[in-house]
């Protein structure tokens, strides 16, 4: 199957890139495995114009918008290999070729290994004060500090949100009821009532399909791009959490847009 552009990943970054490319009448195939990192969250915090919108709701609206563009196709699937000459293989064996590839596969957020934490991830256990801090204001907030640096970074921000902040350096488990955090359990068994727990959850690029390309990296761990999303390999662009030092939906949309503008400029007429 041939296209002008293959977009790998249909989260905020990939769908925004496809929207911009499709509106320029480029033939676009979006391949998406359908697992955006923010899916567990009730709502997207801090995105202008999207008050109380669920992450999957925003993407469903985006896909409906793309369905109106005749040159954009969406495929549910997983890209397993991206080659420098811009051919892409999917897990089901489908082979795609294009003039440009936009990588928008997002990141895996490494959450601490604490019993009871995984089921509260994205709701009562969160990592980003800009995303969910406002919704946690004036509640009993806990911080599981991963390091002195992590605490020094977050304590001033969390102190803006609540006067009731407890900092933990070790936690044995979390007690929840009705899918909400009730208490942090300390190693000695003491329970500290908390409504929300902030944790470190460093994002790592989801790059299994293209790690072999050896794309240049930037600090912290992300794909290096120029102002128009161009990576160090010609014809390969990247957007979203793959390239963003401070991941957020607004950044994903912005970098998806920029990569699409870069592709359009580079492909010409
Ligand atoms: C729990 C949580 C809550 C968050 N809350 C907020 C918030 O409230 N506000 C905010 O602004 N930001 C929030 N963020 C950050 C925000 O979710 C990300 O910055 C944003 O989703 C990044 O968009 P993206 O398109 O790069 O990646 P994603 O949204 O993760 O989308 C990537 C897509 O690519 C697909 N994919 C991956 N690999 C492949 C492959 N090989 N082949 C095909 N498809 C593939 C995935 O399945 C997924 O559908 C949160 C993050 C987390 C983890």
pLDDT for residue 269: 80
* Per-residue pLDDT band at 73 (split at 50, 70, 90): very high
* Per-residue pLDDT band at 126 (split at 50, 70, 90): very high
| Three-state secondary-structure class, residue 238 | strand
Q: 102 is written with which tokens? A: 């936009």
DSSP E strand boundaries for the chain: 2-8, 28-32, 72-76, 79-82, 87-90, 95-103, 107-109, 125-126, 141-144, 165-168, 173-177, 180-185, 191-193, 196-199, 203-205, 217-218, 222-223, 236-238
Q: Mean pLDDT throughout 184-196?
A: 98
84 by Cβ neighbours in 10 Å (0-12 / 13-18 / 19+) ranks as middle
pLDDT for residue 1: 76
Q: What is the pTM of this model?
A: 0.97
pLDDT for residue 258: 98
- Interval between CA 173 and ligand 1 midpoint (Å): 27
Pocket test for ligand 1, best of 31, 36, 52, 111 (most atoms within 8 A of CB): 36
> Over pLDDT 70: what percentage of the chain?
100
For ligand 1, whether the C-beta of 203 sits within 6 Å is no
Asked if domains 2-108+202-267 and 111-199 share a fold, the reply is yes
Mean of the per-residue pLDDT values for the chain?
A: 97
Match 């942090």 to its residue by tokens.
184
| Triad 233, 91, 73: Cα angle to 5° | 75
Domain ranges of the chain: 2-108+202-267, 111-199
| Three-state secondary-structure class, residue 200 | coil
Pocket test for ligand 1, best of 79, 110, 223, 248 (most atoms within 8 A of CB): 248
Q: What is the atom index within ligand 1 of the atom nearest the CA of 255? A: 26
Q: How far is CA 178 from CA 182, 197, 213, in A?
A: 9, 16, 45
Phi, psi of 85 (to 5 degrees): -85, 15
Helix count and strand count (H, E) for the chain: 5, 18
Q: What is the atom index within ligand 1 of the atom nearest the CA of 239? A: 26
For ligand 1, whether the C-beta of 90 sits within 6 Å is no
Q: Is pLDDT of 25 > 90?
A: yes
170 by Cβ neighbours in 10 Å (0-12 / 13-18 / 19+) ranks as exposed
For ligand 1, whether the C-beta of 30 sits within 6 Å is no
For ligand 1, whether the C-beta of 252 sits within 6 Å is yes
Q: Is pLDDT of 220 > 90?
A: no
Nearest residue by C-alpha to atom 37 in ligand 1? 105
- Interval between CA 8 and ligand 1 midpoint (Å): 12
Nearest residue by C-alpha to atom 38 in ligand 1? 105
For ligand 1, whether the C-beta of 31 sits within 6 Å is yes
Q: How far apart are CA 102 and CA 104, in angstroms?
A: 6
For ligand 1, whether the C-beta of 129 sits within 6 Å is no
pLDDT for residue 227: 97
CB-based burial, 225-263: b 16+ in 10 Å, e otherwise = beebbbbebebbbbbbbbbbeebbbbbbbbbbbbbbbbb
Q: Mean pLDDT throughout 50-73?
A: 97
For ligand 1, whether the C-beta of 35 sits within 6 Å is yes
Q: 186 is written with which tokens? A: 């300390």
* Per-residue pLDDT band at 78 (split at 50, 70, 90): very high
pLDDT in tens, 135-184: 999 999 999 999 999 999 999 999 999 999 999 999 999 999 999 999 99
Nearest residue by C-alpha to atom 51 in ligand 1? 38
Q: Give CATH superfamily name and number for 2-108+202-267.
A: FAD/NAD(P)-binding domain (3.50.50.60)
Cross-strand pairs, 29: 6, 73
Class of domain 111-199: alpha beta
Q: How far apart are CA 160 and CA 192, in angstroms?
A: 21
Match 């999917």 to its residue by tokens.
90
């Amino acid at each position: 199957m041939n296209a002008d552009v293959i977009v790998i990943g249909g989260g905020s970054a990939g769908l925004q890139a496809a929207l911009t490319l499709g509106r320029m009448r480029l033939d676009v195939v979006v391949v998406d495995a359908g697992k955006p990192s923010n899916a567990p969250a009730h709502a997207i915090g801090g995105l202008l114009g999207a008050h109380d919108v669920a992450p999957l709701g925003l993407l469903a609206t985006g896909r409906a918008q793309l369905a109106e563009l005749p040159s954009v196709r969406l495929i549910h699937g997983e890209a397993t290999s991206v080659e420098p000459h811009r051919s892409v293989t999917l897990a089901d064996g489908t082979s795609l070729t294009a003039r440009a590839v936009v990588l928008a596969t997002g990141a895996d957020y490494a959450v601490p290994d604490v019993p009871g934490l995984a089921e509260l991830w994205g709701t009562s256990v969160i990592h980003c004060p800009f995303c969910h801090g406002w919704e946690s204001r004036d509640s009993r907030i806990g911080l599981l500090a991963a390091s002195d640096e992590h605490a020094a970074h977050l304590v001033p921000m969390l102190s803006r949100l609540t006067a009731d902040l407890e900092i933990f350096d070790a936690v044995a488990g979390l007690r929840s009821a009705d899918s909400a955090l009730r208490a942090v359990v300390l190693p000695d068994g003491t329970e500290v009532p908390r409504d929300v727990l902030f944790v470190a959850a460093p994002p790592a690029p989801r790059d299994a399909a293209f790690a072999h390309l050896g794309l240049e990296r930037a600090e912290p761990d992300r794909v290096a791009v120029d102002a128009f999303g161009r990576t160090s390999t010609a014809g390969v662009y990247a957007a979203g959490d793959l390239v963003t030092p401070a991941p957020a939906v607004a950044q994903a949309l912005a970098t998806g847009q920029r990569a699409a503008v870069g592709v359009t400029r580079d492909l010409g007429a």
